[in-house]
Structure formats: C-alpha cells, structure tokens
Structure 1
Amino acid sequence: MSSYHKCILFTFYSLSWLNSMTSGSSGDRREDFRVCLSYCMTSCRYTETYPGKLPYYLSLFGWKCSDECKYSCMHEITHNSISRGLNVEQFYGKWPFIRLGGIQEPASTIFSIGNALGHYFGWRMYRKHVNPNYSMYSTWWLYNKVSIHAWFWSIIFHTRDLVFTERMDYFCGTSLVLVSIYSYFVRTFGRQHHQRCRFFGLLLFILFICHCGYLSFVRFDYGYNMKVTLAAGLVNVLGWLSWSFYNRISRPYVWKCAFINISLVLLIVLEICDFPPIWGILDAHAVWHLTTIPYCYYWYSFFLDDYFHDEKFGKIP
C-alpha cells in the first residue's frame, strides 16, 4: 500500500472514530448516575443551602445547582467505579475532571493561555524586525489576530463548558485552519495575483459563514463539524508541505514549516488515543494543547526567516 493510500485510510478511520465520539457517553446513561442526579435535582428545588445555594466562586463562573448536581454525581459514580476496579467513563462527552475553583478543565485552560501568549510574543518578535511594507506583513497580522482570538475562546470554553462557549471554540478552531489556508495561498501566489488572493479570501470567508450558520441555525452536528475541520486541516497541511518541498533548495529554513505541519498531523494520535485524566486533570487533549505551545516560536521564526531571505534578495519594496 502506497504512503498516499495509507494517509487516506488513516484520515478515514480518524473521521469515523471522531464521529462515533459524538454519539453519546456511557457515564451519563448509567442508571445509578440518573438516580443520583434525580435525587440531587430534587434537593435543588427545596433547599436554600448547598447545592441550591452555591459558593460565590462557582456562581461567578456561571455554575447552577443543576450543573453542580451533574458534577457531584459524576465524581460519585467515578469514585465507585474505581473502587470496584471498573474503567473510568465519560459523562456528556467529557472525562470527569476535577475543577479548580469554577474552572472546569484547569490543565487545558492553562495550556490554552500558553498558546495565546505564544502567538502574542511571537508577533512582537516578528513586528520588531519586519518592515510593515513587506508583502506578507498584513497577512501574518491577520493570522496572528485570528489565532489569538481562537485561543481566547479555547480558554473560555475549557474554563466553562456552555453551549455558547462550546460553539465559539469550534467556530474559532475552524477559522484558524482557514486563515492558515489563506496565508498559504497568499504566500504562494500573492505577489503576482493580488485580486485572486482577495477573491480566494472572500470565498473562504463565505464558506466559513455558511458553515457557522448551518451549525447555529439548522443543526449542530458534531460529526459534520469534525469532518469539515479535519478536511480543511488536511488541505492546509498538504499545501504548506508542497510549498516547503518546492522551496527546499532555495529556502533551507522551510524545514521549520514542514516540521510543524508534520508534527501537528502526528499529534492527532493524542486525540485518537484518548485516556482518562491523570490526577483528574491531565488528559490527552490537555497534553495536545501543551505540545503546541513551543510550535509558536518555530512558526514565527519561520516567518522571520522568510522575511530575511526576501530582504537579502531584494524582494522587499
């Protein structure tokens, strides 16, 4: 089997597996969980003390009595399962994390902050050395702002998982992939085809609006969203890898671009080979967020090397 067919087969199985994730969780379907939840929800209506009256630090993060019941019953069932030697199960699509104050997923929240700061300081490094008249300056400015915005909503979502924060996290994740595709297109064709780049950017924006509109007003389909994001991610990776291969001789620094894109594909394994959170905090998704932090430096370092190369050969006005 060729490498190409292996890639297609891997992508197919990844999509199938990720789609199956969205069908539900075994933990919240358990009878003992439902009994615990029903009893707790009853107490919400007839008491002015806990859980009906939550501490101020939970109320500050938008926790309600019903949320507290789900959280407490989830951990009660998980504790009973562990004591009986059973596997830890997911509840409502998530592992039973131990919150920190009102923060629902502390590790993923902290590592999302790390990624946002990585893009912030990466842009400061880039801006310090680059002429604003450089052809890629405005494109990388846009990329940076979309990236920080996406990681901001990742912070909010992992702090508190609500319908709105979940959708903003998904939408912004898709926007980050699309702006990377746009940046690749501009980097490849921008100098000679400004109008084509504008048209391509407008097309991507319209597709993004249609995608978000369908999920918001027609049906929020987790499987469909995951397939679209992965398909866009595959286009993005193949585009940047092809550009790196084409310029490997004239621009030796493109190894950074290739390294980052190949690594991000390999890190999908963390999403596929998921595991219950260590110490109730660190799961595969949090590790994935942790591993992407150092890539910010290499990515913006690649931007700088690209600029210095063009400056050296007189390609900057």
Structure 2
Amino acid sequence: MSLRVIFMGTPEFSAATLRAIAEAGHEIVAVYSQPPRPAGRRGLELTKSPVHLLAEELGVEVRTPKSLKGEDEQQAFRDLEADVAVVVAYGLLLPKPILDGTRLGAFNGHASLLPRWRGAAPIQRAIMAGDSETGMMVMKMDEGLDTGPVALTERVAIGPDMTAGELHDALMATGAALMVRALADLEAGSLSLEPQPEEGATYAKKIAKEEARIDWSRGAAEVHNHIRGLSPFPGAWCEMTAGGKAERVKLLRSTMAEGEGPAGRILDDRLTVACGNGAVRLTELQRAGGKPMAAGEFLRGAKIGEGDELS
C-alpha cells in the first residue's frame, strides 16, 4: 500500500524530502513549487527550483501557481483526490480550502523545535541566538503560522562553531527521514498529534539585508553567532581598509578567541579581532568576486594585519 501524495516545496532543502517520499514507494500525484525565477548575471534566464527539477526527473506533474487563493486553483487541487499534502519550505501561504483539500490533511516539515522559531528563517535564527539544539518537526498544518499540532520530532545538536549551511544539511537529511516515518504511521493509522505548548513561542523573521553587517561593539559570542548564523548566505560582512581603500569582505567562519582591545581592532597575525568584550578569530573569509579562503591564505593577499581596524 502507499499514499497518494501532493508535494509542495521549492528549495534544495525540500527536494531531499521529495526524493525520500518517492523512494519510499508513495504515489506522488503532483508537485507544487514556486514559479521559475530570473537568474544569471543579467537575470534574463528563468531558472526552475530544485524541487521543480527533481519532479521532472521523477516524471511527476509540476504546478507553479503564483497564488492558491482562487477557486479554480483550489478545485484543481481537490481534483487530484490525494490522501495527503506534504509541505516543506514551499513559500506560499495555504488557505483553508487547500489545507482541507486532501483526505488526511496537510503535514509540514519544519526546521525548529516548535513553538520556538516559527516562521521563515528558523535555521539562521537558532544559531544567531546561540541555541545549542534545534531539530525537525512534522506537524499537521492549520491556518496559523506554524501553530499546528506536532506528530514527530527529531532533535539535532548545534556545535559551537557550526554554520547555518552545515546545520541546513543536517536538518535536510533528518527531515526527509522523519517525513517518511510520519507517512508510514499515517498510512497505518498510528500517527498521534500533540498540541504545541502556549509558552516559549518565538518568531524567526526573514533575514534582512541590513542585518548582515557586523557590529564589532557587540560581545564576542554575539558576533561569532552572527557570523556563523549567516554563513554561507547571505554572509556577514565588514569593511577592511588597506592603503586608504575600503574593501567589503564576507566573514564565513570564526571561533571564540582570547584578547581585548578597541572594538574592531585586529589583535595579532591570526586575524583575532576585538569585540565589545572578548574577541573572535576569523577563520574563513571571501573577498568580493572571489572564492572562500582560509584566514592564512586571505592574509597573504591582503595588506592588513595587527593594529588595523575593521569597520
């Protein structure tokens, strides 16, 4: 036996779950994804999402509506006569007729320990807040923002120097396996649901461009968490001045270090930088238009060093 599944997702994070569901033998009757977007240096070429491309590889119909609010789209959804909808980082709000448009409802794979970090950027926000643990949850969706009852949870530790990219990959694999387990229990009629607690809710708002700039006046732990929480994208950044010319540089990795000094000052020849209190050591950087490089390699090509200050 298998379930008739409508899958709804867009990025690489979602594609892993789509592949796992297909490999588990469920019948995927349609895939919904965000419409192709302009890409490339001039933004002239429309690029399909990772989920869209995988669905085509699997031979599954792909639908890319800009909205699901219209009656025609909602009826087309119901006409698929699916058992369940699986939603992972889709990117559109689902109105009630869509949530109720399958026999068993819609189940979401969410990358946090709900009710902490509801919303758009739970992976980055968990690291930026200094959390030592997060996880994947499968919940039954309702009309609220990530407020539905939870079916399954898998916890994932956040290492002290772990980046958002590394945590993304760990949660992606965890979430794919967890959703397959949830569908097996759902098919067997043994999937139980627990309401989310009222206390402890936080919201993971979308990362704004202006947040990416480093503020060296903050404490070292906060600066370190900011750097790793925005790595690799969009990338925390600062300006380095050499020979009177300011250069914008992305900071991709760091670690906690010892040292004191004026905020933003380089304290040694290993790119240890003073913060509002304490210091961080920069271990991976990226110049504009260049590739990521280790601190030692970066220093060989940059005319900065001990005593210089970062803005």
Relative to the length of structure 2, the TM-score reads: 0.24
Q: Whose RCO is larger (CA < 8 A, sep 6+)?
A: 1
**Larger strand fraction of residues:** 2
**Larger helix fraction of residues:** 1
Relative to the length of structure 1, the TM-score reads: 0.24
